[in-house]
């Protein structure tokens, strides 16, 4: 693996050339006409839920939730809490395929009375030691993330979920979902009070149906799912009218969903798990091929966002008339590999995910809930957080490094940029008199130097937070992490050099 020092030397990025200053920088910029112009007029509000994380017990495929829980202390592992605080998700989602056979009553109350869960989809047994109260506690402890629950939507009409191989009935109806809402949100709920939770758990966001359209002919059809959405929504809102409900609308299901249940839901949900090399007969990102041709791997990963853009544009077109925001409650690359998408531990994947994050921001006028990774685990490289077992410090994967960087340095309102150099993928936002830039240098080898300009204003102070590394670097542990943002000052009038394969968050004070 190429060492960082050798990489910097080869690309001419030694410490003496990290920045151009004063007149030299100005002359360089003028000569090459490289500039990033910021137009500070707010276009739309950016949701904090664009930085959602998705937690689902994954059984024998990945110990995920069980690995995050310290069964000796009956608490979340401190290392997982610490790492997630750094990630600072705006929302945490509980559910996924598991929701189709999850019975919430089995995961509440005294631990010795909780019922172990046979994980139909992922194999193995879940202890149910992590349930509703523990999940909400986690959300609060890592920075007050808003919890999002995915209900058991009558097993999405799928017989294999409704009755598991043990013959156990696992389907949950609207009354069961309403009782869950009451347990969480009703200050006087007797069952929750008997479990020692004096204050409500307060869960406002709930998803009705999970990938319901993905098994045609086996579960609910579009119309049945839409009518069930109405049934569930009315039952749950009878308990708490303030709920924010998300209906399933992928695969063209949103039209009938809106016609039948448009007045009952607040968001339309869709998912996207995809291979950035799809359509290529010899994709370099599958299995371990990515290690053989760095340039080809980089090119595929840099174009990966275009596949995602097509998906988002399709949903935008289909839902434009409904005036309902979109909720991308599951999303990540899905690539063949011995250990599930090993390439995703590389910094090249981190830069690729930064382009997806920029895409989400550009669509922030309609995209109000989004993620681009599963949350935690011990094995799947699609996770944001890896948990070494049986011990060791949890660490953030490259996708999470980007989400962390952006979340810590972002504004409330989206603004546009113009005149950006072709190699740079740039988005901008602002809060008050501070402008924020998210800049991805898609050039693997060359730095790009550009001046920063604010239309109709000047900035008095600039700070860059930059992650730059050899794209082949793979993060394998907490100790060997070089993907830590480097803080740099930007002086007014100076150009800034964006290092190759870098992701940079910039704050400019007007």
State pLDDT tens for residues 119-142.
999 999 999 999 999 999 999 999
Tokens, residue 112: 């010795």
The answer to whether 322 touches 270, Cβ cutoff 8 Å, is no
- Strand, coil or helix: 374: strand
324 DSSP assignment? -
**Domain spanning 4-45+414-509: which superfamily?**
Golgi alpha-mannosidase II (2.60.40.1180)
- CA end-to-end span of the chain: 42
DSSP states along 450-487? EEEEETTB--SEEEEEEEE--TT-B---STT----PEE
Where in the sequence of the chain do the CATH 2.60.40.1180 domains occur?
Answer: 4-45+414-509
Q: Tens of pLDDT along 433-452? A: 999 999 999 999 999 999 99
| Residue in 120, 117, 239, 267 with CA at minimum distance from that of residue 174 | 239
pLDDT tens for the chain, 510 residues long, are: 434 343 333 333 333 333 333 333 333 344 455 899 999 999 999 999 999 999 999 999 999 999 999 999 999 999 999 999 999 999 999 999 999 999 999 999 999 999 999 999 999 999 999 999 999 999 999 999 999 999 999 999 999 999 999 999 999 999 999 999 999 999 999 999 999 999 999 999 999 999 999 999 999 999 999 999 999 999 999 999 999 999 999 999 999 999 999 999 999 999 999 999 998 989 999 888 999 999 999 999 999 999 999 999 999 999 999 999 999 999 999 998 877 889 999 999 999 999 999 999 999 999 999 999 999 999 989 999 999 998 899 999 999 999 999 999 999 999 999 989 999 999 999 999 999 999 999 999 999 999 999 999 989 999 999 999 999 999 999 998 899 999 999 988 889 999 999 999 999 999
Where in the sequence of the chain do the CATH 3.20.20.80 domains occur?
Answer: 48-279+306-332
CA dihedral (440, 443, 445, 446) in degrees, to 10, reads -80
| Residue in 219, 209, 289, 279 with CA at minimum distance from that of residue 249 | 209
Q: Tens of pLDDT along 360-376? A: 999 999 999 999 999 99
DSSP states along 13-43? --GGGS---HHHHHHHHHHHT-EEEEEEEEE
Owner of token pair 């060997």: 480
Phi, psi of 393 (to 5 degrees): -75, 130
Please give the model's pTM, rounded to 2 decimal places: 0.92
The answer to whether 54 touches 330, Cβ cutoff 8 Å, is yes
CATH architecture of the domain with range 48-279+306-332 = Alpha-Beta Barrel (3.20)
């Amino acid at each position: 693996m190429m060492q960082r020092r050798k990489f910097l030397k080869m690309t001419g990025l030694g410490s003496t050339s990290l920045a151009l200053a004063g007149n030299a920088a100005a002359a360089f910029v003028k000569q090459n006409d490289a500039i990033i112009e910021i137009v500070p007029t707010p276009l739309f509000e950016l949701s904090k839920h664009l930085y959602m994380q998705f937690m689902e017990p994954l059984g024998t495929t990945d110990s995920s939730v069980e690995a995050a829980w310290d069964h000796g202390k009956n608490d979340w592992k401190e290392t997982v809490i610490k790492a997630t605080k750094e990630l600072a998700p705006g929302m945490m989602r509980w559910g996924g395929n598991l929701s189709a056979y999850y019975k919430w009553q089995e995961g509440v109350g005294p631990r010795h009375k909780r019922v172990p869960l046979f994980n139909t989809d992922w194999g193995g047994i879940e202890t149910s030691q992590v349930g509703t109260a523990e999940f909400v506690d986690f959300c609060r402890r890592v920075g007050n993330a808003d919890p999002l629950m995915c209900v058991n939507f009558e097993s999405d009409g799928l017989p294999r979920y409704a009755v598991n191989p043990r013959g156990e009935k696992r389907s949950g109806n609207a009354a069961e979902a309403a009782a869950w809402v009451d347990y969480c949100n009703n200050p006087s709920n007797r069952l929750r009070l008997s479990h020692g939770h004096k204050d409500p758990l307060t869960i406002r966001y709930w998803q009705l149906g999970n990938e319901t359209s993905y098994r045609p002919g086996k579960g609910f059809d579009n119309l049945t799912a839409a009518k069930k959405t109405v049934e569930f929504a009315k039952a749950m809102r009878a308990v708490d009218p303030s709920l924010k409900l998300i209906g399933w609308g992928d695969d063209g299901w949103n039209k009938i969903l809106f016609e039948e249940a448009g007045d009952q839901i607040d968001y339309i949900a869709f998912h996207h798990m995809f291979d950035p090399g799809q359509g290529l007969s010899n994709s370099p990102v599958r299995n371990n091929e990515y290690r053989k041709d760095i340039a080809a791997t980089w090119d595929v990963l840099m174009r990966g966002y275009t596949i995602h853009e097509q998906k988002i544009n399709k949903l935008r077109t289909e839902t434009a008339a409904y005036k309902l925001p979109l909720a991308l409650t599951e999303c990540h690359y899905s690539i063949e590999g011995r250990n599930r998408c090993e390439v995703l531990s590389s910094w090249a994947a981190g830069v690729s995910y930064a382009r997806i994050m920029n895409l989400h921001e550009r669509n922030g006028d309609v995209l109000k809930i989004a993620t681009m990774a599963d949350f935690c685990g011990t094995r799947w490289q699609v996770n944001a957080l890896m948990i070494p077992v049986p011990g060791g410090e949890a660490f953030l994967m490259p996708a999470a490094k980007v989400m962390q960087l952006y979340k810590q340095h972002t504004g409330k309102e989206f603004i546009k940029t113009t005149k950006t150099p072709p190699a740079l993928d740039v988005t901008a936002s602002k809060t008050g008199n501070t402008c924020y830039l998210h800049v991805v240098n898609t050039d693997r080898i060359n730095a790009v130097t550009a001046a920063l300009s604010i239309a109709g204003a000047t900035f008095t102070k600039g700070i860059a937070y930059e992650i730059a590394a050899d794209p082949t670097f793979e993060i394998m542990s907490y100790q060997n992490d070089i993907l830590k943002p480097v803080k740099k000052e930007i002086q007014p009038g100076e150009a800034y050099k964006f290092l190759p394969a870098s992701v940079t968050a910039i704050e400019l004070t007007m």
